[in-house]
Amino acid sequence: MKKLVVATGNPGKLAEIQAYLVGLNCELVLKPSELDIEETGTTFIANACLKASQVAKALGQWAIADDSGLAVDALDGAPGLYSARYGKTDQERIDRLLRALGTQSNRQAQFICAIAIARPDGSIAIQSEGICPGEILIAGRGTGGFGYDPIFYVPECQKTFAEMSAEQKHQVSHRGRAFATLLPQWPTLNPGNF
């Protein structure tokens, strides 16, 4: 089994990524907590590449990173790259977003996820991006998920992320779509080189 360092200190994110890589004979491990990467990119893909590259180079190992967030049309793409820092708690982030939108009739939004895998020398081996279009509700619905999930409504499913089963969210989410694009590229990594 080959090792792939996940450029995060969050065990929940590691478990989520592992679910997409089932059957690929790789073991995911968290990056060391003392290895801090500043996200200075101006796009999700730039941040994913930056994190994967710096972790891979620092440890001399293969690394995977993702960067994701919510972009709301009426707010010129905000909170975007700052989705996780839009408030201190999930509820604060939701409340701030709903206040910013107010009575705006255009509630179109999209969740975006970018993923990058870097070689031990820091060069990017593969990258992908997934987008899940949706709408921001006036009030939350559902009890599952985290973050903005209760107010992010996916018309094709007629549910918010928070109302979906883990399996359904896994298939239609931005992260699911990013992995659906990435996995066909997996054989090009030549896992024997891990």
Residue 194 pLDDT exceeds 60: no
Domain assignments of the chain as residue spans, ordered by start: 2-193
Sign of CA dihedral 111, 7, 86, 162: positive
pLDDT single digits (tens) 66-76: 999 999 999 99
Q: What is the side-by-side strand order in the sheet with 108-118?
A: 26-30, 2-6, 63-72, 108-118, 124-136, 152-154, 159-160
Query: How does pLDDT run across 28-61, given as a tens digit for each residue?
Result: 999 998 998 888 999 999 999 999 999 999 999 9
pLDDT in tens, 115-126: 999 999 999 999
pLDDT in tens, 83-115: 989 999 999 999 999 999 999 999 999 999 999
At 126 the pLDDT is 95
Residue 137: count of CB within 10 angstroms of its CB: 14
Rounded to an integer, what is the distance from CA 10 to the centroid of its chain?
12
pLDDT at 142 over 60: yes
Catalytic residue numbers read 67
CA distance linking residue 45 with residue 128, whole number of Å:
8
From the options 3.90.950.10, 2.70.98.30, 3.50.50.60, 2.30.40.10, give the CATH code of 2-193.
3.90.950.10
